[in-house]
C-alpha cells in the first residue's frame, strides 16, 4: 500500500492511522509513526500509549530531546526487534536504526517533510505498507495521487457541531489586533499570535502587552529547549495569549483557543496558513482567524492569491480544494526529482495533467510487455474502459 489520506484537522486521520498501526503490530510486524515536530511526536506517543494500553504493544519515542543514554537504549531495542511501534520525528530514520521486521510506516503531516527524508522512506519501503496523512498535500504529492501514481482517500465528514472558522484579511493595526484579542478574552478564551520569524516574537508580545497590560503572555518557538512544557502550560491556562512561530502548526489541540492572529500572513505558504487556521475552532464556539499584513505593504500576486483562497475556501473540509488551488498557483513540481512545486504555465495545467497521465499509461503498457524490469514504485490506475473517463479527466472536466 502507498496511500494518501487527505482530511481536515479533526476529521479522523489519526484514528485511521491508529487502527492501521494496531493491525500491523498485532500481526507481528514493526511499525513507525513519523511526525515532523517533537511536539506532535510527543502527542502521538501519549495517544499511542493510551490507545494500546493492555494490548502488549511495546512503544518507544524517538526525538532530539531524548538523552544520549535513552536514545542508545531505544535504538538497541529497535534493532533487536524488542519494539513494536516507534513514534518519532525524522530521528526514527537514523542510519544506526535497523528495523528487522518493519511492516508499516505512517507519515503524519506529509507536507512538512522534505524530499530527502521522503527518499529515505522510499529506500525502506520494499514490501512495506505506507500510509500518508495530510490536510493539504503539497502540489507534487497531490499531482501523484490525481494521476494514479499513488492511491488516495479523502475524508469529508466533519465532526459533529464543528463550525467553519471565520477568516478575515486585515492590515496589522492596533485597532484590528485589539478588537480580535478583546473579543476572545471577553468570552474567557485564549489567543494565538503567530509570526513567521523568531525575531518578531518579542516585539509582537510587547505590542500586545501595551494593548492589554493585565493579560498574561507567553512566548514559544522551536529553539526553546522546553518548548513542549511551554505549550503544555499554555494549554493548562497559565497564560491567555501565546505569541509563537508556526511550531503550533502541527498537532496542538486546545479547545479554549478560538482566535488566531497571523502576522505577515503573506510570508506563509497556503498549506501552512490552512494548518494554522485549523488550530482554532476545535470546540463548539465560533472561531476567528485574522490574516494580517503590515499597513502600506503591497502584496505580491501569489500573496494575494493565497489570501483570497483562504477567504474563499473557509468552509469545513476545504483542505482538498485548497491543495488543488495551491497546485494551480505553484505547479506540480518534479514527479521523480527534488522539486516539490514548479511552474506549468508554459503548457497549462490541464494539458500538463493529460500528458503526464498518457505517459504513465504508456509506461504501464511497456511494463506489462516486459520491456521494463525495474519499475516497482510505479502503480497506476487501469485505463478507462469504453464510455468511461479517467479519474484525472473527470476531476478537471
pLDDT of the residue at 232: 83
| Domain boundary pick from 263, 285, 315 | 315
Q: Are residues 199 and 310 in the same domain?
A: yes
Query: What is the tens place of the pLDDT at every residue in 313-362?
Result: 777 766 666 666 666 666 555 544 445 455 555 666 667 667 777 777 87
28's grid cell:
507481528
3-state secondary structure of 79: helix
* The last residue of a domain, from among 315, 339, 364: 315
Rounded to 10 deg, the angle between the 174-186 and 201-211 helix axes is: 70
Q: 337 and 275, same structural domain? A: no
Q: What is the pLDDT of residue 178?
A: 96
> How far apart are alpha carbons 8 and 281 in whole angstroms?
12
294 and 334 housed in the same domain: no
Q: pLDDT at position 43, please?
A: 85
Separation between Cα atoms, residue 234 and residue 274, nearest integer Å: 22
| pLDDT recorded at residue 364 | 73
The reported pLDDT for the residue numbered 160 is 78
Half-sphere exposure of 168 (CA within 13 A, CB side): 15
C-alpha to C-alpha distance for 392 and 145, rounded to whole angstroms: 9
Would 148 be classed as within a structural domain? Answer: no
Give the integer Cα–Cα distance in Å for 306 and 341.
15
358 CB contacts (<8 Å, ≥6 apart)?
A: none
CB 154 within 8 A of CB 134: no
Which are the contacts of 252, defined by CB distance < 8 A and separation ≥ 6? 39, 43, 231, 235, 279
pLDDT digits (tens, 9 = 90+) for 24-74: 999 999 999 999 888 888 889 999 999 999 999 999 999 887 888 999 999
CA distance 91 to 23: 24
Whether 160 is covered by a domain: the verdict is: no
Identify the pLDDT of residue 65: 77
pLDDT computed for residue 333 by the predictor: 53
* Boundary residue ending a domain (85, 115, 135): 135
Task: Answer for the pair 237, 190: CB distance below 8 angstroms, yes or no.
Answer: yes
Task: Evaluate whether 170 touches 290 at the Cβ level (below 8 Å).
Answer: yes
Whole-number pLDDT of residue 36: 85
Same-domain check for residues 259 and 345 = no
- State whether 308 and 333 are in the same domain: no
Of 244, 241, 202, 200, the C-alpha closest to 221 is: 244
Mark whether 295 and 331 lie in a shared domain.
no
Cell for 62? 524517538
Which domain covers residue 305, as residue numbers?
A: 166-315
Starting at the edge strand that comes first in sequence, how are the strands of the sheet with 217-220 ordered?
166-171, 288-293, 257-262, 190-194, 241-244, 217-220
The pLDDT of residue 384 is 44
| 92 is a domain residue | yes
CB-based contact 101:128 (threshold 8 Å): no
Tell whether 364 and 333 lie within a shared domain: yes
159 lies in some domain: no
Per-residue cell: 306: 493565497
pLDDT of residue 381: 42
What is the CATH number for 212? 3.40.50.300
Q: Give, in degrees to the nearest 5, the angle at Cα 70 between 97 and 128.
A: 30
Query: Per the domain annotation, does 154 fall within a domain?
Result: no
Does 144 fall in a domain? no
Provide the residue count of the chain. Answer: 397
From the first residue on, what is the mean pLDDT of each consecutive set of 10 residues in the chain (397 residues)?
84 91 95 88 90 94 86 93 93 88 89 67 75 76 66 83 87 95 95 94 95 95 84 90 89 84 90 85 86 87 83 72 66 50 58 74 68 46 43 36
User: What pLDDT score was predicted for residue 37?
Assistant: 82
- 180 in a structural domain: yes
pTM of the model: 0.70
Residue 143 lies in a domain: no
243 and 205 co-located in one domain: yes
Residue 126 grid coordinates: 520494499
Number of domains in the chain: 3
Distance between CA 243 and CA 40 in Å, rounded?
A: 18
Nearest to 133 by CA among 109, 115, 99: 109
Same-domain check for residues 308 and 330: no
Cell 529497535 belongs to which residue?
78
Q: Identify the residue whose cell numbers are 507534487.
A: 140
Amino acid at each position: 500500500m502507498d496511500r494518501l489520506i487527505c482530511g481536515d484537522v479533526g476529521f479522523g486521520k489519526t484514528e485511521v492511522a491508529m487502527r492501521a498501526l494496531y493491525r500491523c503490530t498485532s500481526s507481528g510486524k514493526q511499525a513507525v509513526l513519523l511526525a515532523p515536530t517533537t511536539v506532535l511526536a510527543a502527542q502521538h506517543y501519549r495517544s499511542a500509549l493510551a490507545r494500546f494500553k493492555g494490548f502488549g504493544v511495546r512503544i518507544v519515542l524517538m526525538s532530539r530531546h531524548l538523552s544520549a543514554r535513552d536514545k542508545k537504549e531505544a535504538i538497541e531495542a529497535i534493532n533487536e526487534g524488542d519494539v513494536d511501534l516507534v513514534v518519532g520525528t525524522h530521528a526514527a530514520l537514523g542510519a544506526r536504526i535497523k528495523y528487522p521486521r518493519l511492516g508499516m510506516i505512517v507519515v503524519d503531516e506529509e507536507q512538512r517533510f522534505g524530499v530527502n527524508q521522503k527518499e529515505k522512506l522510499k529506500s525502506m519501503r520494499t514490501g512495506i505498507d505506507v500510509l500518508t496523512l495530510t490536510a493539504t498535500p503539497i502540489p507534487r504529492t497531490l499531482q501523484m495521487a490525481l494521476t494514479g501514481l499513488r492511491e488516495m482517500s479523502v475524508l469529508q465528514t466533519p465532526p459533529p457541531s464543528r463550525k467553519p472558522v471565520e477568516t478575515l484579511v486585515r492590515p496589522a493595526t492596533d485597532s484590528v489586533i485589539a478588537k480580535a484579542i478583546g473579543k476572545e478574552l471577553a468570552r474567557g478564551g485564549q489567543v494565538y499570535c503567530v509570526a513567521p520569524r523568531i525575531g518578531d516574537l518579542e516585539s509582537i508580545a510587547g505590542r500586545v502587552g501595551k494593548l492589554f497590560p493585565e493579560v498574561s503572555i507567553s512566548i514559544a518557538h522551536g529553539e526553546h529547549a522546553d518548548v513542549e512544557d511551554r505549550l503544555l502550560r499554555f494549554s493548562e491556562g497559565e497564560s491567555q495569549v501565546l505569541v509563537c512561530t508556526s511550531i503550533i502548526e502541527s498537532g496542538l489541540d486546545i479547545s479554549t483557543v478560538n482566535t488566531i492572529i497571523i502576522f505577515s500572513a503573506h510570508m506563509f505558504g497556503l498549506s501552512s496558513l490552512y494548518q494554522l487556521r485549523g488550530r482554532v475552532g476545535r470546540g463548539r464556539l465560533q472561531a476567528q482567524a485574522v490574516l494580517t499584513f503590515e499597513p502600506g505593504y503591497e502584496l505580491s500576486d501569489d500573496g494575494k492569491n493565497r489570501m483570497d483562497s483562504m477567504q474563499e475556501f473557509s468552509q469545513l473540509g476545504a483542505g482538498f480544494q485548497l491543495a488543488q488551488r495551491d497546485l494551480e498557483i505553484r505547479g506540480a513540481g518534479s514527479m521523480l526529482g527534488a522539486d516539490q512545486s514548479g511552474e506549468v504555465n508554459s503548457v497549462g495545467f490541464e494539458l500538463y495533467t493529460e500528458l503526464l497521465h498518457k505517459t504513465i499509461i504508456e509506461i504501464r503498457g511497456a511494463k506489462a510487455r516486459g520491456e521494463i524490469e525495474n519499475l516497482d514504485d510505479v502503480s497506476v490506475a487501469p485505463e478507462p474502459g469504453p464510455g468511461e473517463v479517467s479519474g484525472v479527466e473527470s476531476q478537471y472536466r
